[in-house]
């Protein structure tokens, strides 16, 4: 069981969304952030770094937005729709963009294939949570 | 002149928004994140920490969202409306919430008064940038 | 297999330390950061929040230092001892402090028990990597 | 007066170092992190991005370490030497490295000149604080 789930189960807060969904989303956000940070490092080591510039930029953006979102949803007792909804929307959008761009390089660079997968999973998880909180 | 402005002026990117507005927003986002991180530390030292719990939580959220937003808008060559707009909306919402909560404690705690001011300025700057990119 | 390991295996960089050790350390750092962010939220919801103040402060510090360390070691092609060694030392120290403090609350709060475990594992992983890079 | 200074002056904590020095260090750390985030974006837009790879990597590391350090020193009531000293040492080292690398590109890229200056100032501020806490 992931730390996110163990922490949620041990925590005094009452959530207005399913704890399993919430924990899965937090894990997926953190995995995506981690993959994007690592992919940036890998991209910078490639011979064709010039063609990886958009990928690097999007990975940095995606890592930033996913980390902030994981923090906010880990922390809140009651979800403030005005903050959570646009934040999850930004997350869905940046994961989609970053996943699309990583996929373009997936055949050439295995690390981009892995990162694309992490972005796709995060995009879906954030969409699901967005539906659940709406 | 702030580093944000100096960097923008020295940077090869063409922006579809005014560099002065952009630099001011980046500075205000970073100031707000910094004030919120510091306010968390100050709140935790107060005798009435139990009454400061919502303030602490909101300051942590506000710092996370402002830092991510500053990163994204510092980094992008061309603004992707799907990401930037909801991110700025989340920022406006969390700055408003955090500013309101800090203001409630402003008479008792000077540090909350200072933080409320940083949140207000950031809320306004993000609204302005949001209008400019829409 | 974790994303950290998959990314390392797919990445063009040559590491002067074992990829398994490196990936395990990155995973443990990210797990610890995540547990600390979550524990902060749980602590803030407790009746005895006044007694949790040191725990909250240390969790916030620990999350910050672990996140930075994970970023630096995910990103570097060649390890710069001047940066990596003191950073890992700071990580070991803050994980030890945070783990000790969480353990003090472990009987009363299950979430602190979980967080203490994440901190202990991270302390050990960073010590091992520190020995490997020295 | 910067927010860092205003917050410190308003905060109940007693510091074992001069508040002016502390506030100046926090401001300098945040300025440096901000300059490094922006410089990454500018470097990625340059024609000679292949030669900027080390600069980008170091700017990302420097931003991470400075942000974590600013958080830790903004937050602590009493400075734990085991954490603060190696963290400041890591900061001094990464600012020196990043400053040196940025300086190599300073004639070609004005944004690297600005970033080098931010790194130098931060390196000095962290050294001064390190001397004061030792």
Please tell me the distance from the alpha carbon of residue D77 to that of residue A41, in angstroms, as a whole number: 36
Task: Report pLDDT digits (tens) over C30-51.
Answer: 999 999 999 999 999 999 999 9
Q: How many of the other CB atoms lie within 10 Å of CB of D42?
A: 27
Confidence (pLDDT) at C134? 84
D57 neighbourhood in chain A, CB within 8 Å: 41, 44
Nearest-CA neighbor of D132 among D57, D24, D6? D24
Task: Classify residue C103 as exposed, middle or buried by CB count within 10 Å of its CB (0-12, 13-18, 19+).
Answer: middle
Is the pLDDT assigned to residue A88 strictly greater than 70?
A: yes
Query: Per-residue pLDDT averaged across A64-68, rounded?
Result: 98
- Decide if D34 contacts B74 (C-beta within 8 A): yes
**A48 near C CB under 8 A:** no
Does B82 sit within 8 Å of A75, measured CB to CB?
A: no
Please tell me the distance from the alpha carbon of residue B97 to that of residue B60, in angstroms, as a whole number: 12
Does D68 sit within 8 Å of C65, measured CB to CB?
A: yes
Confidence (pLDDT) at B86? 97
What is the SS3 assignment for D79? coil
The tokens describing B97, both together, are 């919430």
- Decide if C49 contacts B50 (C-beta within 8 A): yes
C77 neighbourhood in chain D, CB within 8 Å: 57
Please tell me the distance from the alpha carbon of residue C54 to that of residue C61, in angstroms, as a whole number: 11
Please tell me the distance from the alpha carbon of residue C55 to that of residue C109, in angstroms, as a whole number: 12
Give how far the C-alpha of residue D34 lies from the chain's centroid of Cα atoms, to the nearest Å. Answer: 9
What sign does the CA torsion over C46, C50, C51, C57 have? positive
CB pairs under 8 A between A and B: 72
Q: How far is B105 from chain D (nearest CA, A)?
A: 13
What sign does the CA torsion over A17, A18, A20, A24 have? negative
Is the pLDDT assigned to residue A14 strictly greater than 70?
A: no
Task: Report pLDDT digits (tens) over B67-120.
Answer: 999 999 998 766 688 999 999 999 999 999 999 999 999 999 999 999 999 999
Is the pLDDT assigned to residue A6 strictly greater than 70?
A: yes
φ and ψ at D16, to 5 degrees?
Answer: -95, 10
Please tell me the distance from the alpha carbon of residue B50 to that of residue B44, in angstroms, as a whole number: 9
The tokens describing B21, both together, are 């507005």
Count how many residues are written for chain C. Answer: 134
A67 neighbourhood in chain B, CB within 8 Å: 64, 68
Is the pLDDT assigned to residue C98 strictly greater than 80?
A: yes
Q: Which helix (H) or strand (E) holds C58?
A: helix C53-75
- Decide if D65 contacts D90 (C-beta within 8 A): yes
The tokens describing A118, both together, are 């992490």
Residue A114: which pLDDT band, with cuts at 50, 70 and 90? Answer: very high
Confidence (pLDDT) at D31? 96
* Complex ipTM tops 0.90: yes
Confidence (pLDDT) at D78? 66
Report the helix count and the strand count for chain A, using DSSP H and E.
Answer: 5, 0
Confidence (pLDDT) at C93? 97
Residue C3: which pLDDT band, with cuts at 50, 70 and 90? Answer: confident
Is the pLDDT assigned to residue C15 strictly greater than 70?
A: no
Please tell me the distance from the alpha carbon of residue B51 to that of residue D67, in angstroms, as a whole number: 28
Point out the residue among C3, C38, C76 whose CB comes nearest to the CB of A7: C38
**C127 near D CB under 8 A:** no
Please tell me the distance from the alpha carbon of residue B69 to that of residue B75, in angstroms, as a whole number: 10
Query: Per-residue pLDDT averaged across D48-73, rounded?
Result: 97
Does B76 sit within 8 Å of A93, measured CB to CB?
A: no
D35 neighbourhood in chain B, CB within 8 Å: 3, 7
A41 neighbourhood in chain C, CB within 8 Å: 11, 13, 74-77
What is the SS3 assignment for D108? coil
Q: How far apart are the first and last CA of chain A?
A: 27
Give how far the C-alpha of residue A4 lies from the chain's centroid of Cα atoms, to the nearest Å. Answer: 14
CA atoms within 13 A on the CB side of C99: 15
Please tell me the distance from the alpha carbon of residue A123 to that of residue A118, in angstroms, as a whole number: 9
Residue with tokens 């944000």: B4
Task: Report pLDDT digits (tens) over C62-84.
Answer: 999 999 999 999 987 666 889 99
pTM above 0.90, yes or no: yes
Confidence (pLDDT) at A76? 73
Task: Classify residue C111 as exposed, middle or buried by CB count within 10 Å of its CB (0-12, 13-18, 19+).
Answer: buried
Is the pLDDT assigned to residue D90 strictly greater than 70?
A: yes
Does B53 sit within 8 Å of C50, measured CB to CB?
A: no
Confidence (pLDDT) at D11? 87
Long-range CB contacts (within 8 A, 24+) of B7-12: B7/B74, B7/D35, B7/D38, B7/D39, B7/D42, B7/D111, B7/D114, B7/D115, B8/D38, B9/D110, B10/D42, B10/D109, B10/D110, B10/D111, B10/D113, B10/D114, B11/D38, B11/D41, B11/D42, B11/D45, B11/D111, B12/D42, B12/D45, B12/D46
The tokens describing B99, both together, are 């500013």
CB proximity list for A18: less than 8 A, separation 6 or greater:
A132
Confidence (pLDDT) at B33? 97
Q: Which helix (H) or strand (E) holds A6?
A: helix A3-10
Query: Per-residue pLDDT averaged across D49-67, rounded?
Result: 97
Subunits in contact with chain B (3 or more CB pairs closer than 8 Å): A, C, D
Please tell me the distance from the alpha carbon of residue A13 to that of residue A106, in angstroms, as a whole number: 41
Q: How many of the other CB atoms lie within 10 Å of CB of D18?
A: 12
The tokens describing D55, both together, are 């600069």
Please tell me the distance from the alpha carbon of residue A72 to that of residue A87, in angstroms, as a whole number: 9
Residue D8: which pLDDT band, with cuts at 50, 70 and 90? Answer: confident
The tokens describing A12, both together, are 């005094």
């Amino acid at each position: 069981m992931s730390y996110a789930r163990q922490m949620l189960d041990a925590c005094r807060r009452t959530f207005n969304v399913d704890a399993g969904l919430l924990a899965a989303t937090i894990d997926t956000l953190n995995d995506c952030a981690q993959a994007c940070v690592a992919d940036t490092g890998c991209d910078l080591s490639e011979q064709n770094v010039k063609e990886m510039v958009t990928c690097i930029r999007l990975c940095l953006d995606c890592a930033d937005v996913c980390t902030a979102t994981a923090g906010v949803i880990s922390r809140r007792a009651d979800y403030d729709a005005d903050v959570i909804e646009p934040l999850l929307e930004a997350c869905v959008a940046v994961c989609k963009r970053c996943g699309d761009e990583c996929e373009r390089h997936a055949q050439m660079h295995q690390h981009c294939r892995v990162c694309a997968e992490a972005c796709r999973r995060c995009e879906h998880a954030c969409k699901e949570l967005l539906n659940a909180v709406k």
